[in-house]
Chains A and B, each alone.
Chain A
Amino acid sequence: MSAGVVTKERTVTAMVAGEPYLDLPEDLYIPPEALEIFLATFEGPLDLLLYLIRKQNLDIVNIPIAQITKQYMVYIEVMSNFQFELAAEYLLMAALLAEIKSRMLLPRQVNTEDDEEDPRAVLVRRLQEYERIKKAAEELNEIPRMERDIFLATIDTSSVSVHKPKPEVQLQDIVSALQGVLRRVDQLSHHTITKEVLSVRERMVAIMAKLEGCDSLLFARFFTYQEGRAGVVVAFLAILELSKAELIEILQAEPFDELSIRARVGVGND
């Protein structure tokens, strides 16, 4: 087998017995010389495994483990020269696959009391979550951003001469101040509330910021009534989420007392 060149466009991976392989061979074997280039196109073992499953219809349950282990050992020898940490991550994945395989080979216990999760299900969930983030990162790369698609329109203000007039109060100013007050009265009687999009994640961050530097705050202090029902719901959800993440504690001094919230001990700004 002679090593082929793995380009980012995945043209020819390898020549096997004179036949060109356009995609990666199903048995995961990559010639050690091509490994460095090959791995550089992947973001780690999850990414590689995802690629193999999606593109090669690789069945993660039926992988020839002995063969793969041998191959991985060769990789590690090669990689120990340059990126041992990377090798460790791939080795961990190989070990996980081997563990799954060996569990599959063992006779199934009929009355297992512990509801241990299927290790494949755990792996599949991780792969799915990774795939979702991978797609999100790709989308993030596509949306317009500064420096590439967004250019600011600004004017050079270095030539503007600053002239500060002395404060002088004139009758007109007083009248306009009165007008301002009247306008304000007007607005109070005719104010409109516009709906703003509220994000629970954003609110979670805002709540943590609010708790910074103070011991605890009353529950009610986290709600802004002007935001209306939606705002209250978002704040409430944010509090529940933070509580679930064990970032805050919801406290009550005694029964029927008012609730208060504080950052968990050990959580705080440095």
Chain B
Amino acid sequence: MTKQSSEPVQQVNKKIKRIVEALLFATEQPMSVAQLQAVFPELERPERVTIEAAVGALCDDYRSQAIGLHKVASGYRFQVKTDMAPWVARLFSEKPPKYSRALLETIAIIAYQQPVTRADIEEIRGVSVSSNMIHTLLDREWIKVIAHKEAPGRPALYATTAQFLDYFNLDSLAAMPPLQELQALALEGEMEI
């Protein structure tokens, strides 16, 4: 088999690129490469790399536009570039939802320390966690129960979901802001024992 070395490794298939563009605009949910592949009839299903190359080329096309192609945990989606977001926000009279500190701290603990139980969250925050809040997070599909701990009462172990990362525009847990180092608290008087 001969291989033309002058050609780029993966030539972008223009037709597939157009299809991918249309599909990503037509769906509300992000689409993964596998989901994009699955749209094609079985006999002409493009390879993973072909789709990836098409996505890459689309990304380049939209570089200087107000709309961009963005990768989040569940896949790719078109979204308004963040510098244009304030303009779009002006369209809507309703203010975006604000989240309470309690909710943000709870989801932060789950995200950074997962898998955790409700007791773990309470231990860190020093206050009880309301059932309502856990339900809200489960309903929003930001968290899920992945198992039950082998402890009295078999408490549920919570972990974050891809939807949580999608909502915060992240493509993996590793993309979350790093946890800060523990900061020293001045303790006056010598330590005993």
Find out whether the CB atom of A152 lies under 8 angstroms from the CB atom of B115. Answer: no
Q: Which residues of A contact B180 (CB under 8 A)?
A: 132, 135-136
Q: Which partner residue on chain A sits nearest B70 by CB separation?
A: A150
Find out whether the CB atom of B104 lies under 8 angstroms from the CB atom of A140. Answer: yes
Name B47-82 residues within 8 Å CB distance of A: 47, 49, 67, 77-80, 82
A-B contact count (CB 8 A): 221
Measured between alpha carbons, how far is A192 from B187 in the docked complex, in Å? 54
Find out whether the CB atom of A187 lies under 8 angstroms from the CB atom of B109. Answer: no
Q: Which residues of B contact A192 (CB under 8 A)?
A: 9
Q: Which residues of A contact B26 (CB under 8 A)?
A: 154-155, 157, 160
Measured between alpha carbons, how far is A252 from B148 in the docked complex, in Å? 24
Q: Which residues of B contact A204 (CB under 8 A)?
A: 114-115
Classify chain B's interface size: 35 or more
Which one of A117, A176, A190 contacts B44 once the chains associate, using CB atoms below 8 Å? Answer: A176
Q: Which partner residue on chain B sits nearest A157 by CB separation?
A: B26
Residues of A in contact (CB 8 Å), total 93
Known contacts A204-B114, A208-B147, A116 near B168 by CB under 8 Å: no
Find out whether the CB atom of A133 lies under 8 angstroms from the CB atom of B3. Answer: no
Find out whether the CB atom of B3 lies under 8 angstroms from the CB atom of A246. Answer: no
Q: Is A144 located at the chain interface by the 8 A CB criterion?
A: yes
Distance between A65 CB and nearest chain B CB, rounded to angstroms:
15
Known contacts A132-B180, A154-B28, A149 near B82 by CB under 8 Å: yes
Known contacts A263-B147, A270-B148, A141 near B174 by CB under 8 Å: no
Find out whether the CB atom of A61 lies under 8 angstroms from the CB atom of B159. Answer: no
Measured between alpha carbons, how far is A53 from B185 in the docked complex, in Å? 8
Name A180-201 residues within 8 Å CB distance of B: 180, 182-187, 189-190, 192, 197-199, 201
Interface residues of B (CB under 8 A from A): 1, 3, 9, 25-28, 41, 43-44, 47, 49, 67, 77-80, 82, 85, 88-89, 96-97, 99, 101-102, 104-105, 107-109, 111-112, 114-115, 123-128, 145-150, 154, 157, 159, 166-170, 172-177, 179-180, 182-183, 185-189, 191-193
Interface residues of A (CB under 8 A from B): 43-47, 53, 57, 59-62, 85-86, 89, 93, 103-104, 108, 112, 115-118, 120-121, 124, 126-141, 143-155, 157, 160, 167, 169, 173, 176-177, 180, 182-187, 189-190, 192, 197-199, 201-202, 204-205, 208-209, 212, 245-247, 263-270
Give me 7 other A-B pairs in contact (C-beta within 8 A), A153-B25, A154-B78 excluded. A45-B126, A86-B127, A137-B101, A141-B104, A202-B172, A266-B148, A266-B154
